Amino acid sequence: MTKRFACLLTGACLLSGLATRLPAAGFAIHEQSGQAMGTAGAYAGAEGAASLFYNPAGIARLEGTQLEMGVNIIMPATDFTGPTDHPSYGTVAMDKQTFPPVDLYLSGRLTEQARWGVGVFTYMGLGTRWPEDWAGRTVTEEINLQTFTINPSVAFSLGEQTSLGLGLDLMWGKALLSKDSYTGYPFNGYVDVELDGTGLGYGFNIGLQHRVNKELNLGLSYRSGITLSAEGETTFTIQDVENPSHVAYLQSLFPTTDANLDLDIPDLAIAGAQWTPTGLLDGKLTWRGDLVFTRWNKYASLDIDFETNTAGLEDSHSPKLYENTWAFRTGVEYALNEDWDLRTGWYYEQNAVVDHMVEPSLPDAERNGLSLGASWQATETLGIDAYFIQILLQDRVSRFDGLRGGYESSIPIFGLSLRKEF
């Protein structure tokens, strides 16, 4: 029973949802700017305050002091349908939740050739919550992740055409995760498991931009992996047991205990371009495109160290079989007049999770996103950006041992940003 319980506890993965698809999809928050998301997040070759997230070299040639702040409204939806050999599972809808991550970017001049910048944003977040008595409660019931990243940066103009940006990532995270675990004892079916923890991590980002000519701007950026060192408390609630001796025995096996683990968040690289052909539509049309690589094979395992070990609770090692992924983002912007810009975009992203590792804490899949956006220049120094993107995930059939079945998911996202120049 010892190994069985440890497998249930970590195979369902109290924290796998936290690290399953962080910087690329799933719990990632790529939505950081109304301008960027109007073109589906393609922004590595662009120049603006939000370049601090996509490519810090993009702030090198900005004028004055630039402020951008925004909010995104994310509303994920997933339906799970049980396998045909268990028709009683039926179809279960994930509880509907709305997540409003915010971002703020500020940039100013240091010297004629250098600028400073600070970004404060949610790099990872969101969550999933399923009904308490659903068929997959031994896999997951709820995951809620909140993170805040402070990203101080500096950018330099290296001559008239090239710029370099460097930044430091300081990340703080908080996670709440819960599930039921089957104990195997006839006098008690399930124990409720809950982990509440926080962690800190450090990393860096670097970017280059090169103006080939007045029409074409190229960009390269890299964001390092981060090891998020998390500490938390794991609590076990005994369910449906009245006999005091049975309660005492189960509490001795599953005591409240501290837990420690390191989460390896993979690094990613972006190559992007921005092209404004002066001979087409009087130079009013701009195309942007980004190619994004995420090194997911860095996430090899999830290891949990429980401070208290018992016959029912042991430290665990949970292997992962993730694969590196590519994503392509592209879009166009059209300057309708002096006050209004219109945008549209599309992106495609591969899936990192193999079929037999897909589970309901994060039912990830290959995805396509279609975006629409617009900007209104209210005054000479004040602009407002809005966007909508509909993310469609490919239907996924999971062979995960803990819960085989199919997933249908979609994610509508709305966003609004304000830009101010001082």
**Count of CB atoms within 10 A of residue 14's CB?**
28
Q: Which of 49-63, 204-218, 228-242 has the lowest mean pLDDT?
A: 228-242
Q: Could you tell me the domains of the chain?
A: 2-421 (2.40.160.60)
For 116-148, how does the pLDDT look when each residue is reduced to its tens digit (9 = 90+)?
999 999 887 768 899 988 888 888 888 887 888
51 touches 57 (CB < 8 A): yes
pLDDT at residue 13 greater than cutoff 60? no
pLDDT beyond 60 at 243? yes
- State how far the alpha carbon of 392 is from the alpha carbons of 86, 133, 136, 373, in Å: 27, 28, 23, 18
Name the residue among 85, 122, 83 with its Cα closest to residue 102: 122
> What burial letters (b/e) apply to 95-126, b meaning 16+ CB within 10 Å?
beeebebebebbbeeeeeeebebbbbbbbbbb
Cβ(419)–Cβ(49) under 8 Å?
A: yes
pLDDT tens, residue by residue, 379-393: 999 999 999 999 999
* Rounded Cα gap, residues 48 and 36, in angstroms: 9
pLDDT band at 84 (very low <50, low <70, confident <90, very high): low
Q: Let me know how many helices (H) and strands (E) the chain has, helices first.
A: 5, 22
Quote the pLDDT of residue 342: 98
373 Cβ contact partners less than 8 Å away, ≥ 6 residues apart: 34, 35, 37, 38, 39, 342, 343, 344, 345, 385, 386, 387, 388
| Dist. CA 304–CA 44, nearest whole Å | 36
Average pLDDT for the chain: 85
CA 37 – CA 194 distance, rounded (Å): 35
403 vs 345, residue with greater confidence: 345
What average pLDDT does this structure show over 339-359? 88
Q: What share of the chain is helix, strand, coil (3-state, %, to 5)?
A: 10, 55, 35
pLDDT of 8 above 50: no
Is the pLDDT higher at 2 or at 289? 289
Q: Which pLDDT belongs to residue 319?
A: 62
The pLDDT of residue 193 is 86
pLDDT score of 197: 85
The rounded distance, in Å, linking the Cα atoms of 140 and 78 is 14
Dist. CA 109–CA 126, nearest whole Å: 35
Task: Select the highest-mean-pLDDT range: 53-62, 180-189, 297-306, 398-407.
Answer: 53-62
Q: 1 falls in which pLDDT band (50, 70, 90)? A: very low
The reported pLDDT for the residue numbered 20 is: 37
Q: Measured between alpha carbons, how far is 145 from 122 in angstroms, rounded to an integer?
A: 10
Cα separation of the two ends of the chain: 65
Q: Which of 174, 176, 172 is nearest to 143 (CA)?
A: 176
Query: What pLDDT shows up at residue 152?
Result: 98
Contact 50, 167 (CB under 8 A): no
- What is the C-alpha separation between 346 and 340, in angstroms, rounded? 21
Over residues 43-49, the mean pLDDT reads 96
Residue with tokens 């500490």: 231
| pLDDT tens figures, 146-190 | 888 999 999 999 999 999 999 999 999 888 888 888 777 777 668
Tokens of 226: 């981060």
What's the CA gap between 192 and 181, in Å, rounded? Answer: 6
Would the pLDDT of 420 be above 50?
A: yes
